[in-house]
Structure 1
């Protein structure tokens, strides 16, 4: 039995879909906070179980009879460690044989803004004694969807990442890697650094948006404080402004620029270029 947490989220749902192509539906458990959102999966034979990262008892119940659990990292920044710890303890209590966790690039050594909570989670997993596999996902192409839409409409966008490069891939790419680990052999105890095959800059992103939108699109690089002002004036909440500017600083420092072969090796195919995602997003406008 394979349990996927956060199974109605962007990444979790893609993992469930990928699993259904490889294993019988009754061997897949969609562990979700709101079971009603997974009604379509239940209709297809998936075992939908209530699981809330803030409700440890629900997690133990959700993991009953599970051989493998995919812990899709929580999206609640600042709450992740406590939530992940509850999942780890529930997995141990339920006798889960193999825990797989979606972490961040070089989580234990990187200065990346999102790394600290992932670092602590990896340490908790190691201390738990559970057999585990760590999937350290680089940035997602989809993180730029709003930027792509705005730039396609207005002809420009701003940032503070300089000439920093990003080795991103799509959620579907990372989901396929997770499916490969959950359905394959020999992945126990491994840490995979997952990243796209080709890196790109914001200037490259502008060129791809221009090509897809059929117009000139420019990128303007700003000092971090000016970037923050623009985002604040656009109505973004202060925590989000701080996060976006911090990530651009990380990109400028090269913290998301490392390419590896791990993603391609696990999925058996090249990663999805940013230009493909740009074309898809522009096509929805």
Structure 2
């Protein structure tokens, strides 16, 4: 079986390949498609087949997917362009009759999450095409809070507009392991899997965890949306990006990332990585 992976040179893609190789997959049956030439070269050094992929050039996708049985579509990172890019991947996968696994957003079709519309549109593209697919609705990556964790450890304070909203995060390695399991199994065909950490946490709990790990008190600076935007722009973020980040926190405050089950841990066969363990690893404690 040949597995083609888009976004393979990104953080999640590299971890998926690592998980596939750890499971004994022949590297020559993996096709890593991406744009980072240095990472592609390193993957090639491991025996993985590589391909330069440009979503705007269908021929690069056709070449990368030739002979593929399964395609992992790791969602694009360019807001406003994702749906068009994802459609190009879906069309190329259809041409070769490959099944497709797509990394979407939590509750993509029903959530108010500001980044969900493009994922909802992509899931809509998958319906009714005669394409065999599985959707992985990944919740937040704990890595999204690396800067906040380091700031809390350094300054004793963490800024948030998320209120008491819970975040069912897990590290990328947990989601990558789930993707590898799904790619190597026929048992998840046609499923839409809501994936997230076993123990959703609030920012108060994040602060308490950093405090426990470091031995230093950490307080939470809870702000409104407008205050959040002002703080982010004062820190150097442009207005549009600041408003986007503040809107995400507002979504979290409303419960958009609270999760609700243990599907991820069931797939990987172990508990998801606890927040305290992740914080300790990040801070070297």
Matched, 1:79 2:78: no
Q: What are the residue-to-residue correspondences of 1:18-97 with 2, within 5 Å?
A: 18-22=19-23, 23-96=25-98
Distance in 2 of aligned mates of 1:127 and 1:49: 29
Equivalent positions of 1:31-180 (< 5 A) are 31-96=33-98, 98-180=99-181
What is the alpha-carbon distance in structure 1 between the residues aligned to residue 46 and residue 11 of structure 2?
19
Contact 1:88 1:128 in 2 (8 A): no
Secondary structure class of the residue paired with 2:100: strand
Q: Distance in 2 between matches of 1:60 and 1:35?
A: 19
TM-score between the two structures when normalised by the length of structure 2: 0.96
**How many Å separate the matches in 2 of 1:62 and 1:35?**
15
Give CA-to-partner distance per residue, 1:72-105, whole Å, 9 cap, x none. Answer: 0001111101110111111112221x10000011
Other-structure match for 1:267: 268
- Tell me if structure 2 keeps the 8 A contact 1:74–1:84: yes
Aligned alpha-carbon RMSD (Å): 1.2
Any gaps of 5 or more consecutive residues in structure 1?
A: none
Unmatched 5+ stretches in structure 2: none
Residues matched between the structures, number: 283
SS at match of 1:128: coil
CA distance in 2, matches of 1:274, 1:250: 21
- Cα-to-partner distance string for 1:121-155 (whole Å, 9 max, x where unaligned): 00111143210000000111000001111121111
CA apart distance, 1:214: 2.5
Paired residues for 1:191-230 under 5 Å:
191-230=192-231
Match of 2:13 in 1: 12
Whether the 8 Å CA contact 1:20–1:28 is kept in 2: the answer is no
Structure 1 segments, 4+ long, off by >3 Å, are: none
Alignment of 1:221-260 (within 5 A): 221-260=222-261
Cα separation, 1, equivalents of 2:54 and 2:131 = 21
Q: Is the 8 A contact 2:97 2:131 kept in 1?
A: no
TM-score between both structures, scaled by the size of structure 1: 0.96
Query: What does the per-residue CA deviation read over 1:234-282, in whole Å, with 9 as the maximum and x for residues that have no partner?
Result: 1112222112111111111011112212101110010111222211222
